[in-house]
Amino acid sequence: MSTRSPSTPSGPPARSHATARSAALPAQVARTRAGEPATFLEAVAEALWEEMERDERVFLIGEDIGAYGGAFKVTRGFLDRFGPSRVVDTPISEGGFTGAAAGAAHMGLRPVVEMQFMDFVSPAYDVLTNYVATSRYRGAGPLPIVVRGPVGGGNRGGPFHSQNVEMAFFHTPGLKIVYPSNPRDAKGLLKSAIRDDDPVIFEEHKGLYRAPHCRETLPREDYAIPLGKARTALEGHDLTIVTYGLMVHHCLAAAQELAKEGVRAEVVDLRTLLPLDEEAIAESVKKTGKLLIVHEDTRTGGIAGEIAMRINERSFEWLDGPILRVTAIDSPVPYSGRLEDYFLPSPDDVVAASRYLVEY
């Protein structure tokens, strides 16, 4: 462990990372630079590219991210531009390369760890919860590390390639958890995560990576979105729907159906789960009097329970009905397509729960 004083968290890198080479922009970055609407995947790639150009302490580490360009091609072309000391291919050892990244962060670098699928983060759980998350508390100083990767179901990936892992880390003080729902937020939040001096778990729903409905023209100026701040994705006054990630799109679709019946739902996109923007949720509930919480993660121990309890504690007098939740069922993600569709929450489920609340 580093013996450097905690008062010097962002000192110069221990060794030169000036290995940048002259190379053309990779396609996923060039399209956004040309002003074309960016996919979620392209927004993530551009955030990584810009932060690596901005700060030579930033480097990437993970399986197949260099020559292969990553399982989803997020980092295609990065090796040609930044070289093997800043785009580091690793063996299949999530605990090992996450620990190596933690050591690099102690020495002044700013690693971004890619999990090929976030389901595979479990071997690194010990490093992240026992070591990384406790760094400040133990007096070892800040530990600026981002662990990012694809999550979520709907792609027939089965139980090893479809999980949402946020609640495995939600209980751990010292970590931050980010789960964006659109390209603009993905880029701005990832840039903030990389610049943050604390460890961040950054979840990217693979169902949004190349989704045709999830494309946006990104601002050309440099921007970052603060962590810990929710956004109102849709204004309404009849009930509040709190959600994040892919479920934002399901909830907006449900809100469109409800609007045909004269019901105006307010959709709050959390964006950051830890720290949780409790104030934004409470203010919306104060306006609508009804709260529905929607997430793709399984029901028991999901974030819906925590949100419900916090609103019960601070905003009970504003509630005009029970707090409800729409979630996946308590099961591993099925392989069967029909079973997976049954397992996952749908816009129809959100509509049904919303109708119950409005009529309560």
DSSP 8-state secondary structure symbol assigned to residue 218: P
Q: Quick one: pLDDT at residue 2?
A: 37
Domain boundaries, the chain: 27-216, 231-359
- CA–CA separation, 116 vs 233, rounded Å? 29
Compute φ and ψ for 51, nearest 5 degrees: -70, -35
pLDDT tens figures, 160-172: 999 999 999 999 9
Question: In the annotation, is 161 catalytic?
Answer: yes
pLDDT tens figures, 97-144: 999 999 999 999 999 999 999 999 999 999 999 999 999 999 999 999
Q: Quick one: pLDDT at residue 346?
A: 98
Domain 27-216 shares a fold with domain 231-359: yes
Q: What is the fold, at CATH topology level, of the domain defined by 27-216?
A: Rossmann fold (3.40.50)
Q: Quick one: pLDDT at residue 112?
A: 98
Chain CA centroid to CA 26, Å: 23
Q: Quick one: pLDDT at residue 20?
A: 52
Task: Tell me the pLDDT of the chain averaged across its residues.
Answer: 93
User: So what's the architecture of 231-359 in CATH?
Assistant: 3-Layer(aba) Sandwich (3.40)
Q: Do residues 343 and 275 make contact, with C-beta atoms less than 8 angstroms apart?
A: no
Q: How far is CA 254 from CA 198, 346, 347, 353, 355, in A?
A: 36, 9, 5, 10, 11
* Active-site residue (options: 161, 205, 250, 295): 161
- The beta-carbon contacts of 282-285 under 8 Å, at least 24 apart in sequence, are 282/311, 282/314, 282/315, 284/232, 284/240, 284/242, 285/240, 285/311, 285/315, 285/318, 285/319
- Partner residues linked to 203 by β-bridges: 149
pTM of model > 0.85: yes
Chain CA centroid to CA 164, Å: 10
